[in-house]
Structure 1
Amino acid sequence: MWTRHHKKRKLGRLVMPLIAVAFLSYFGYHSIHGGYGLKATEQFDRQIVERQARLDKLTKQRMILEKEVQLMSDGSLERDMLDEKARLALNMSRSDEIVIFHRAAN
């Protein structure tokens, strides 16, 4: 009976560790730099803060506009509000009035 004896190669011992290192490197890189990695998460957090600030600003503006609309609605039309809006739109005033303009904070 003939048997073959194989010489143990040093390269054969390195195959599995090299494959493991390749997989770990790939997934390690993408866990930091990938679309859902650590850097992307930091960017998402910054966007959340910026957009929350913008949402708060727009919500405040909307509340102001809703209050003005409520004051100008049918049942409770206030003459002062109507007069103020008309003068501002037409850019007119009476000769005996002093007009002070102020800019709304943007």
Structure 2
Amino acid sequence: MRTKQKRKSWFTPLIVPAITLPCLAYFAMQSQTGRYGLEAGQEMQGELAAKTKIYDDLVRSRKALEQRVKLLSDGTLERDMIDERARRSLNMSNEDEITILERWKS
């Protein structure tokens, strides 16, 4: 009976590390620079701060508009609000008055 003997190769133990090291390097790089990595997290924090400021401005503007609507729709209308609305709607003013046109922020 014949037996085949295999000689151990020095290359065989290096196969697993050769596959795992590039995978680990890829995941390490993605955790730093990827879409949800550390650098992207800092950018998202900056965007969040900017959007929060815009949101706060919109809330403040909405509260001011709600207050104006409340003054107009309440049973007790204020005289100056009625006068302001009438002048704005009719686009009229008295001869001795100075008209200052306001632009609405959009």
CA distance in 2, matches of 1:34, 1:55: 28
| Mapping 1:27-46, distance limit 5 Å | 27-46=27-46
Could you say which residue in structure 2 is the equivalent of 1:17?
Answer: 17
The alignment-based identity, stated in percent, is 41
In the alignment, is residue 96 of structure 1 matched against residue 96 of structure 2?
yes
Give the Å deviation of 1:59: 0.5
Distance apart, 1:86 and its partner CA: 2.4
- CA deviation profile, 1:80-102 (whole Å, cap 9, x unmatched): 01211222343321112233445
Matches within 5 A, 1:46-57: 46-57=46-57
- Number of equivalenced pairs: 106
Distance 1:93 1:50 in 2: 41
RMSD: 2.4
Give the drift of 1:47.
2.0
The aligned residue for residue 64 of structure 2 is: 64
Unaligned runs of 5+ residues in structure 1 are: none
Q: Which amino acid is 1:86 matched to? A: A
* C-alpha distance in structure 1 between counterparts of 2:37 and 2:71, whole Å: 50
Task: Compute the TM-score of the two structures, normalised by the length of structure 1.
Answer: 0.79
